[in-house]
Structure 1
């Protein structure tokens, strides 16, 4: 594995992105950031919902923390727990109508911020960046798999 100047530039840029997230610079204010993260981690189109274990994995937290965050989102009427007909021990989390509306608002807000940052880029530059960033994140995900 080669760590060249370009790799170091990417590392520094990713730190800057993380700092922006920590400062809530991309926050829409629609819900607290921790709940926006929970909504992002729940699959809106998954027919069986998202388990707390899956939520924990996607958020990078332990199961008790994911359970607490899920309960907070349920209390805020952003998620609901459903009965799993295949396994009675499970109660997957599903987005409510309110949760789906908030998720859309949060994603629209972030997309608008990203569009503004790339406003003077050519369409080709935007396509190239989207392709390469997606490829990069996919490779990071793949490297994290056991």
Structure 2
């Protein structure tokens, strides 16, 4: 912990939830080029889930990872398909299942989102010393990697 007393440590850890909520709300307000739309935020979630899947990803898998109903996930996926970002294909493991793959346009949009996230990160941490910025980036990636290992299935 911080090396302080337990009350201070507990208060610090209790503040994490509110910090995550502020982070989610405020990061989207940072001006990036090109600007991020609400539809971009949804597409970014779907594209990243498909891209990061360890194996095949289905609409059911997207619904599970986003904790939404299958009908909601289906609409999100259909939007990405209509925009040319994803394609449906037969599973190589089970031809009765339909899986999702990024198209070249989907990969390009994923990369654009990555650039926008970096712009926001650099803007928000612009007054931080370089060492602090890089250490936070390492720790944030470690945290995200640990969260990804919480047993989330690759497909449903």
Unpaired segments ≥5 residues, structure 2? 1-5
The root-mean-square deviation of aligned C-alpha atoms, in Å, is 2.9
Task: Determine the structure 2 residue equivalent to 1:73.
Answer: 80
**Structure 1's 19 and 144: CA in aligned 2 closer, same or farther, altered over 3 A?**
farther
**Structure 1's 138 and 90: CA in aligned 2 closer, same or farther, altered over 3 A?**
same
The farther-off stretch of 93-102 and 113-122 is 113-122
Unpaired segments ≥5 residues, structure 1? none
1:12 equivalenced with 2:32 (yes/no)? no
Task: Kindly indicate whether structure 1 or structure 2 has the higher relative contact order, using CA contacts under 8 Å at least 6 residues apart.
Answer: 2
**Structure 1's 95 and 121: CA in aligned 2 closer, same or farther, altered over 3 A?**
same
Give the one of 86, 89, 92 matched to 1:82: 89
Aligned 1:1-146 pairs, distance under 5 A: 4-20=10-26, 24-25=28-29, 28-29=36-37, 31-43=39-51, 49-138=56-145, 140=147
Aligned residues: 141
**Structure 1's 99 and 141: CA in aligned 2 closer, same or farther, altered over 3 A?**
closer
